[in-house]
Structure formats: C-alpha cells, structure tokens
Amino acid sequence: MNLFNLARKNIKGNINNYLLYFFSMVVCIIIFYTFNSLLYIPEIQNVDPFLDSTMSQTSFILIGFIIVFIGYSNAFFTKKRKKEVGLYSLLGVKKKTIGRMLFFENIIIGAMTLLTGLVLGIILSRLSAMLLLKLLGAPIEVSFSIPLEAILTTTLVFTMITIFTSVQSYLLIYRFRLIELFHAEKKGEKVPKASFFSASLAFVLLTSSYWLMFNGMAMLAIPIVVIGTYLLFRSLTVYLLKRAQKKKAKYYHGINIIGTTHLLYRVRGNALMLTIIALLITGALPYIQAAFSEYGMTKKEARSTAPYSYIYLSKDEAIDQQINRIITNDKNHPITEQLDIPIISVKGTTAAPFQDNHDLSINLMAEQTFHQVKKTMDLGDIPPLSGEQAIAFKYYFIHQSAADFEGHDIEIPLPQGKQTLTLEKLEKKSVRLTDGEEFLYLVVDDKLFSEMAENFPPITYKAYEVENEKTTKETSETLQKLSDENMQLLTYYDKYTSIKAFTGMKTFIVSSLALVLLAATGSIIYFKQISEAYADQNRYEILRKIGVNKKEVRSTITKQTLFVFILPLLIGILNGGMLLLSIVVQYDMDLIENVLYFLYAVAAYGVIYLIYYVLTITSYNRIVNR
C-alpha cells in the first residue's frame, strides 16, 4: 500500500508532464470506444450493412496508431525518470521495489485514462452516432445505449497495452547501470556536417518523385518521397542552418546564435522523427481532402450518375402509363420535365484508340435529342453536324489525348453494306442513361439517325425530372418494386442516398483517424521538445546569469520550436499537395474544387497543430525560463 501511495504522489508531482499524454490517450480511447459502440446501434446497422467490416478494419488501424504513440510517449517518460530512478537506487532502495513502484505508476495512469475515456466515450457516443447518421443522410433519431461488448473490447485492448508498458517500466531499473541512469540526459550530439551533395540529392529526389506522380507512376514515387524527405531533414536543413550561420549580422543579433546553434545540434537527432511526421501528414492530408471533397460533391456526383429524377427503359405501354401515374400522383414532387430519349445500339470497328476498338459497343443519339439532354447532363455545346459527322462522348478508359481520336472513321455493319461515321471530336464526358458500365455515345445528324433507325429499331428511355428529388423516397421505392432488371430503372434518390452513405462513412472514419493522428504526432513533437527542455535547463540558467532576460529566452524558444513544428508540416503539405495535383491532372478532375477542399484540410490540421505548438512553447518556457 505504501508503494501504491508513493506511485500516486509521484504522478501528482509530475502532473504537468502527464497532462498532454493523458489528454491524447483519452482522445484515443473515446474514438476507439465510439467505433466499437457504433457496431451495436440498430439505427446505424440498418443504414449501412457493411458497417461491421469497415469499423473493424478502422479499429485495427487505430490500435496501430495508439501502440506507436504509447511506445514513443513511454520512451520519453523513461528517459526523464532515469535520474530519479538512479537516485532511489543510490539511496539503497531495492531494484525490485523501484520496479514495482514504476509498475504501479503506469497502471494508475492507464486505469485513469481508460476510466476517463470510457466515461466520456459513453457520454459522447449518442452524439457521435447522431453525427454519423447525419453524414449518412439518415434520420438522426437514435436511442441511447451502452453496449457492454464495446466496453469489454476497449477495456481489453487498452489493459493489454497498459500491462505491456508497465512491464517495460518495471524493467527500467534492470536495463541500465547506475552511472547510465545519472548521465542519461548528458549525452551530446556531434556537430553535424553540411553536405552539399546530400542536400542536392534530397532536392533531386523530391522533384523526381513529383515528376513521377504527374506521369502516372505514384507507386514508384512513394519510396523516392520517403528517401528524399529523410535526406531533406538530415542534410538540407543542416545545410540551410550552416548557411544561416554565415550571415553574421543576423546570426549575432540578440541571442539568435543560441537558437540557430541549438537547432543545428538537434535537427539531425530529430531527422527520423520529423521525417515520419512529415510522411504521415503527406498521407493524411490527401485522404482528409478526398473525404471532404467527396462528401461536399455528393449532389454533383449523384447527378453525374443519375442525371434525371427517374429514368428507365420503356418496354410496355401499360407499364409506362402506370409509372406515369405514380410519378404524377406524387404532389409533393411535381414534374418539371418529361421526355423520351431514343437510342440506337450498334456494333462497330475503328482505328481510333478506344480500348475495344475492334468490337466497339456504340449508342447513337440524334442531334436534336442531344440538345434536349445536354443541360441536365452538363454536356456543353457541340458544333452543328451534317452528313456522316459524329461527336463521341466517353470519360473512362480514355488514356490518350482527345486529339488522337479526331478524323478516325467508325464502320458500322448494315444488313446491306456498311455505314461509315467520321469522328469530328471526342468529348471526355459521360452520358449516363443506365447504371453500371459506361457506353460510348455518338451524336449524329438527325437525318442520319432516322436512316439508321430503319435498320436498327431504337430503344426509348423515358426520363422524368421532379422538384425536391432528394426526398422522393416513397415514390422511388414504389417504382423499384414495380420495375424489373430489364427496365434498367435509375432514380436520383437511390444514387444520392447511396453515395451520401458511402462518403459520409468515409468522412467520419477519416476525420476520426486524422484526429488520432494529430493527437499522436502533436504529442510526439511535444514530448521530444520537452525532453530537450529538461536537458537544456542548465544552459539557459547560464544565459540568465550572463544577462539574457526572460523575454529574449522566450523569443528564442518560440523560434526554434516553430522550426521543429512548421518544417514537417510544410513538407507534408508540399508532398501531399503534389500528390493531389497529380491525381487531379491525371483524371481531369475539377482543380478549383479539389484545391479548395485541400486548403480546408490544411486549415483544420493547422489549427490543431497550432494548439500543440502553443502548449509546447508554454511548457518549454516554464521549464527553462523560471
């Protein structure tokens, strides 16, 4: 019991160092519990049948993040406690007793974080469920429940992690000699050498990786980005700081010499940590951007895959009349547009570089029909057509330039002879009348379409556009029950809700993982800087004795800490931004929208990073500038 009380007093005495660790761990536990509790909420299970597998996979990723974070944090506390442990041993306390005291400390901290995290997780679980249902586009009414399975899973995982780290703490006294414990913080770093070759190589590797990204070789670029980023922190930063030393006027102004020299000595030791954080940001930002972008463009994406409120292939006049009555009787969603879209489906061959050019599936559309649908489908304008001229519409699996298709002939076999069409232009846009595979559409002159219809009877798609189509649940469900597979019924409501459910789930998961990642990376930098602060206490005490005031010391701390925080953030933004731009260019995506959502992701990341930065300089200043 005495050991337990001593452990509790030690925690109380080091509460300032444990607070951020405690907060970060509580965030991890809340999110882990939330993900597991969502599996047992019926309202969410009914919306997404794949929730189980999605949340399970995410939980494993979370555990990986948490293990890395706890391992690094534990290393920080171990290093900081070495001198204290050595003092206990010098005073005659048995190694076994010291080990048990450290074991109890870790157990107490683990139990406190687990209990706090579970309590807050239970309180916030209903809010999290409502948020997820809101993102999924489902009714947000959800019953309050406390799933025992989620509590047991969370308790088991974090208890195992706590026991493992507690055993590590117990073995601390046995892993080091007494002299090593007292001199743990006195190990200096060698003066790093500025290597122009390594600095140049870092620049070459990163620019080469960007070139590979923009040329469709992202997988090959990834290892080059990793190596280039590491060399950047290990060599280029040293080179730049050495260059800064040569600018005498600025270098000797105030105590800039102290901050620059400190960074120079520390940056190589921090190279691996900064590289890992920069690479995590590199991967995290595009994922956050993609989640925000996809969710923000749900309406636009639904429109591109389901251009009309209702569209189906006409098969029977009696069924057409029945469908018309159902849609017309829905007074809450009056019809704003109704049209027939005749299409001729044929086969053809061409020398144009289509993927299946020797057995080309073609849908012919008359020019008049095109002008009726172009606004709804956002297809733009085309020049007037005559004779055998044709304009092609296809988006996917077009890897060549549109100019490579111009002037090529397409031959369509007829019962007597053949029909030749000349491609005037290829528009990289989709014409969507059905779900599933994207077809090649050719827009031809009305007269030519009529002539082709004599040999190939057109099929007719009936399309309806109604008001407030996002809320046509009842009508859409009624039509789905009436239709069969051959009708190819496609409703905007079904597409909108399915896309929103997918993007909403993705946004929720990515945001949660990003929060854990932020907590982990921010805390890692915090612990690293605070560890250096304790090691530098004597140096700053000497500075104060020779007349350096507290304001100057704080200014130096602010600058050198900013360098450590902002460098991986900027490199991560640069790498992530290049990756995003390469994807946007490669797939001909909307540049402005994607860049805007990327800036949202950067802003969200930057604000939370700023909080960790302020906490770090405050704690650092409190330690060395008393």
253-303 per-position pLDDT tens digit? 555 556 666 666 666 667 777 888 888 888 888 888 888 887 888 888 888
**Structure confidence at residue 604 (pLDDT):** 83
Domain final residue pick, 138, 158, 187 = 187
pLDDT on residue 320 = 92
The pLDDT score that the predictor gives to residue 104 is 81
Which residues have C-beta within 8 Å of that of residue 108, sequence separation ≥ 6?
4, 7, 8, 11
Q: Alpha helix locations (H) across 378-491?
A: 446-455, 473-482
pLDDT at position 344 is 95
Which of 187, 202, 230 corresponds to the end of one domain? 187
pLDDT higher than threshold 60 for residue 132: yes
Q: Looking up tokens 């406690």, which residue turns up?
A: 81
Lowest mean pLDDT among 76-85, 215-224, 565-574: 76-85
On whether residue 235 sits in a domain, the answer given is no
Distance CA 35, CA 140 (A): 17
Query: In the prediction, which pLDDT does 426 show?
Result: 93
**429 domain residue, yes or no:** yes
More confident residue, 216 or 144: 216
Whole-Å CA distances, 565 to 561, 568, 569, 573? 6, 6, 7, 13
Q: Comparing C-alpha atoms, which of 90, 75, 73 is closest to residue 181?
A: 90
Burial of 159 (0-12, 13-18, 19+ CB in 10 A): middle
Alpha-carbon Rg of the chain, whole angstroms? 32
d(CA 169, CA 165): 6
Mean pLDDT for 600-604 is: 87
Q: In b/e form, how buried is each residue of 547-582, taking b as 16+ CB within 10 angstroms?
A: ebeeebbbebbbebbebbbebbbebbbbbbbbbbbb
Specify the long-range contacts of residues 109-112, CB closer than 8 Å, at least 24 apart: 109/11, 109/18, 109/21, 109/22, 110/158, 110/159, 110/161, 110/162, 110/165, 110/166, 111/162, 112/22
pLDDT digits (tens, 9 = 90+) for 55-79: 666 777 777 777 777 776 766 666 6
Give the mean pLDDT of 167-171. 74
Phi-psi region of 114 (alpha: psi -120 to 50; beta: other; left: phi over 0): alpha
Residue 578 within a domain: no
Residue 284 falls inside a structural domain = no
Is 335 in a helix, a strand, or coil?
strand
Give the least confident one: 134-138, 496-500, 517-521. 134-138
Please choose, from the candidates 581, 470, 566, 555, the residue with its C-alpha nearest in 3D space to the C-alpha of residue 522. Answer: 566
Give just the sign of the alpha carbon dihedral 385, 388, 389, 392.
Answer: positive
Domain-located, residue 560: no
371-385, 491-505, 531-545: which is most confident: 371-385
Residue 281 lies in a domain: no
Query: How much is the pLDDT for 438?
Result: 86
Task: Quote the DSSP letter at residue 471.
Answer: G
The pLDDT value given to residue 67: 75
For position 370, what pLDDT does the model report?
96
Asked if residue 387 belongs to a domain, the reply is yes
418 vs 195, residue with greater confidence: 418
Distance of alpha carbon 289 from alpha carbon 605, whole angstroms: 11
Which of 169-178, 353-362, 409-418, 558-567 is the least confident region? Answer: 169-178
Lowest mean pLDDT: which of 212-226, 230-244, 482-496, 572-586?
230-244
What pLDDT does residue 200 have? 85
Total structural domains within the chain: 2
Residue 179 domain-assigned?
Answer: yes
What sign has the CA pseudo-torsion 89, 91, 97, 101? negative
**Per-residue confidence (pLDDT) for residue 517, from 0 to 100:** 76
Domain residues for the domain of 155 are 1-187
Question: Which of these three, 466, 493, 522, is where a domain ends?
Answer: 466
| pLDDT above 60 for 367 | yes
Strands (E), 243-370: 310-313, 335-350, 360-366
pLDDT at 365: 96
Please report how many Cα atoms fall inside a 13 Å half-sphere around the Cα of residue 418, on the Cβ side: 11
Under DSSP, is residue 619 helix (H, G, I), strand (E, B) or coil?
helix
HEC string of 572-597 equals HHHHHHHHHHHHHHHCCCCHHHHHHH
Contact 17, 529 (CB under 8 A): no
Dihedral of the alpha carbons of 224, 230, 233, 239, in degrees to the nearest 10: -70
The yes-or-no verdict on residue 464 having pLDDT over 70 is yes
Compute CA 236 distance to the chain's CA centroid, rounded to the nearest angstrom: 28
Q: Which helix (H) or strand (E) holds 413?
A: strand 409-413
* 178 has pLDDT over 60: no
pLDDT tier for residue 396 given thresholds of 50, 70 and 90: confident
Q: Tell me how far apart the alpha carbons of residues 626 and 608 are, in angstroms, rounded to a whole number.
A: 27
